[in-house]
């Protein structure tokens, strides 16, 4: 184990040399990875085969390397908006392409393993940065009925390989926590059940040992951030059925990490996780690890929120109440899903003491009330750009009205929201699912505002880092 940990640290320290620079954030597309796959064809160690097509006609590729007797099959991004592992797979291709660093380790892997990889099973979904494929089928609920060509391809490749191990690579929501701790579940594992009885079959036990073993190594890098997904059997999912059909399947989910919405650190952790697990399979060292190690990994729970404001006073009917208020952001795609803006809503309010925020602020001694709309009507975006936010803020205005028939945006980078006059209803009560626009006072004076979930300090309006929303478009 000491050697395996040392190897993982070597991978950690040399990672930047192999990070695929053309994949900078999560919103890369099929066209980006096709270029990289074309380059793999020119390198001896890789074999590249077209194994299917998506509904919109994008090729699905199988990249193979190694000639060992143990077969390992990895597939990523069957959910189009879950790309973290795909990027890590291209980092891993770069790692294998370099003959000079850790040559013995590479030789060891390639002589003991035959590795098969489908990166981006759902390219049509990735194009739109959406979970499902282009006809709204969730590929991971299509293994039984096999309606989508992407699912058929995955099943055909699985059948042709009958691999010893499978890696089902996904992303999970940022709201997952490690148990009830204040840590995001940054990496979650599962050895899926092969049936409703959650039987402990030989392939499942093998996967449990491998996960437990890999988690010990991973604990060097992200202690307290590793969780385990629920093992309820899902008869329509690939991992569960592949386990039933004899492969030791590891579900690997990349979750949240503080200050890393683009998950570039977790991409690096994926790289280390996958290469370390391949090493353990090749050396069979995972057999030394008891399944209890797996069983003791804390469960995935949902106790994370993006932003929690704590201990605020809420006045209602002459009475005063103490509340916390939790805000979550949704990512809204634009520019052909190459970019996104954030849209905040109230997740919950009241006693949120069991929840943790990616960001939190204690506002004891402050009061909260809904954000207000400035009654003055502006006629052009240029007029709005001239507005002094401080004047709006001191009156508690988080929104302004715009009457401009030519304007059709969804969001802006102005530090206040825009309500289009022709359709200007905006729910502003403090209750779940409503937009997160608040006024926060101390001793009656406005001190802070929350505009679309972003905190603004009245003394420092220039510190605005968020995006605001155009309502009513
Ligand atoms: Zn998924």
Q: What angle do CA 419, 436, 28 make, to 5 degrees?
A: 85
| Residue 270 Cα to ligand 1 middle (Å) | 15
Q: Are strands 187-190 and 226-228 parallel, antiparallel or unpaired?
A: parallel
* Strands of 397-402's sheet in order across: 372-378, 397-402, 417-420, 468-471, 411-412
pLDDT at 375 (0 to 100): 92
3-class DSSP state of 411: strand
Cβ atoms < 10 Å from Cβ of 303: 19
Cα–Cα distance measured from residue 229 to residue 253, given in angstroms and rounded to the nearest whole number: 9
| Residue 7 Cα to ligand 1 middle (Å) | 29
pLDDT at 404 (0 to 100): 80
| Residue 135 Cα to ligand 1 middle (Å) | 17
pLDDT at 407 (0 to 100): 85
Question: Residue 311: which of 454, 442, 465 has the closest Cα?
Answer: 442
Instruction: For the chain, state the CA radius of gyration.
Output: 25
Query: Helix 84-97 and helix 30-41: axis angle, to 10°?
Result: 20
Chain centroid, CA 179 distance in Å? 18
Cα–Cα distance measured from residue 360 to residue 441, given in angstroms and rounded to the nearest whole number: 17
pTM above 0.85, yes or no: yes
DSSP secondary structure letter of residue 414: S
CA distances (Å), 257 to each of 85, 187, 250, 297, in order?
Answer: 15, 9, 21, 18
Cα–Cα distance measured from residue 71 to residue 7, given in angstroms and rounded to the nearest whole number: 22
Cα–Cα distance measured from residue 473 to residue 24, given in angstroms and rounded to the nearest whole number: 31
3-class DSSP state of 144: coil
Q: What are phi and psi of 315, to 5 degrees?
A: -100, 130
| Residue 170 Cα to ligand 1 middle (Å) | 4
| Residue 192 Cα to ligand 1 middle (Å) | 14
3-class DSSP state of 212: helix
| Residue 82 Cα to ligand 1 middle (Å) | 6
Q: Is 448 exposed, middle or buried (0-12, 13-18, 19+ CB in 10 A)?
A: buried
| Residue 436 Cα to ligand 1 middle (Å) | 28
| Residue 426 Cα to ligand 1 middle (Å) | 33
Per-residue pLDDT of the chain (473 residues), as tens digits, is 999 999 999 999 999 999 999 999 999 999 999 999 999 999 999 999 999 999 999 999 999 999 999 999 999 999 999 999 999 999 999 999 998 889 999 999 999 999 999 999 999 999 999 999 999 999 999 999 999 999 999 999 999 999 999 999 999 999 999 999 999 999 999 999 999 999 999 999 999 999 999 999 999 999 999 999 999 999 999 999 999 999 999 999 999 999 999 999 999 999 999 999 999 999 999 999 999 999 999 999 999 999 999 999 999 889 999 999 999 999 999 999 999 999 999 999 999 999 999 999 999 999 999 999 999 999 998 999 999 999 999 999 999 999 987 888 999 999 999 999 766 678 889 999 999 999 999 999 999 999 999 999 998 888 889 999 999 87
Q: Where are the alpha helices (DSSP H) in 136-286?
A: 149-161, 202-218, 238-244, 264-283
The tokens for 388 are 């002094």
Q: What are phi and psi of 314, to 5 degrees?
A: -115, 125
């Amino acid at each position: 184990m000491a050697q395996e940990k040392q190897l993982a640290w070597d991978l950690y320290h040399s990672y930047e040399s192999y990070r695929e620079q053309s994949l900078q954030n999560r919103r890369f597309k099929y066209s980006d990875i096709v270029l990289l796959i074309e380059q793999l064809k020119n390198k001896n160690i890789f074999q590249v085969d077209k194994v299917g097509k998506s509904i919109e006609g994008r090729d699905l590729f199988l990249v193979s390397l190694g000639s060992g007797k143990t077969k390992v099959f990895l597939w990523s991004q069957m959910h189009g908006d879950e790309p973290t592992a795909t990027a890590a797979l291209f980092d891993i291709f770069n790692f294998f392409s370099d003959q000079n660093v850790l040559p013995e380790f590479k030789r060891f892997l390639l002589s003991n393993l035959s590795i098969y990889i489908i990166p981006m099973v759902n390219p049509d979904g990735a194009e739109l940065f959406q979970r499902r494929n282009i006809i709204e089928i969730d590929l991971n609920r299509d293994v039984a009925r096999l309606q989508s060509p992407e699912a058929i391809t995955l099943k055909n490749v699985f059948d042709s390989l009958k691999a010893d191990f499978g890696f089902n690579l996904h992303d999970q929501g940022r709201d997952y926590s490690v148990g009830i701790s204040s840590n995001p579940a940054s990496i979650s594992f599962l050895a899926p059940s092969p049936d409703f009885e959650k039987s402990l079959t030989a392939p499942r036990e093998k996967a449990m040992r491998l996960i437990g073993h890999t988690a010990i190594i991973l604990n060097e890098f992200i202690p307290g951030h590793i969780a385990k997904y629920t093992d309820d059997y899902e008869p329509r999912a690939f991992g569960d059925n592949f386990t039933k059909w004899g492969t030791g399947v590891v579900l690997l989910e990349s979750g949240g990490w503080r200050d890393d919405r683009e998950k570039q650190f977790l991409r690096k952790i994926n790289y280390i996780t996958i290469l370390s697990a391949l090493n353990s399979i090749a050396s069979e060292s995972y057999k030394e690890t008891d399944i209890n190690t797996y069983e003791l990994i804390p469960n995935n729970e949902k106790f994370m929120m993006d932003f929690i404001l704590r201990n605020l006073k809420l006045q209602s009917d002459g009475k005063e109440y103490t509340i916390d208020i939790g805000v979550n952001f949704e990512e809204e795609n634009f520019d052909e899903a190459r970019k996104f803006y954030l849209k905040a809503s109230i997740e919950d309010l009241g006693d949120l003491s069991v929840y943790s925020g990616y960001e939190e602020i204690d506002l004891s001694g402050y009061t909260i009330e809904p954000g207000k709309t400035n009654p003055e009507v502006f006629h052009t975006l240029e007029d709005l750009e001239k507005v002094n936010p401080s004047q709006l803020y001191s009156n508690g205005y988080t929104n302004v009205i715009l009457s401009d028939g030519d304007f059709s945006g969804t969001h802006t980078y102005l530090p206040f929201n825009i309500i289009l006059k022709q359709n200007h209803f905006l729910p502003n009560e403090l209750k779940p699912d409503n937009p997160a626009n608040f006024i926060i006072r101390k001793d009656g004076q406005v001190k802070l505002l929350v505009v679309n979930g972003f905190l603004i300090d009245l003394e420092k309006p220039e510190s605005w880092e968020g995006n605001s929303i155009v309502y009513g478009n």
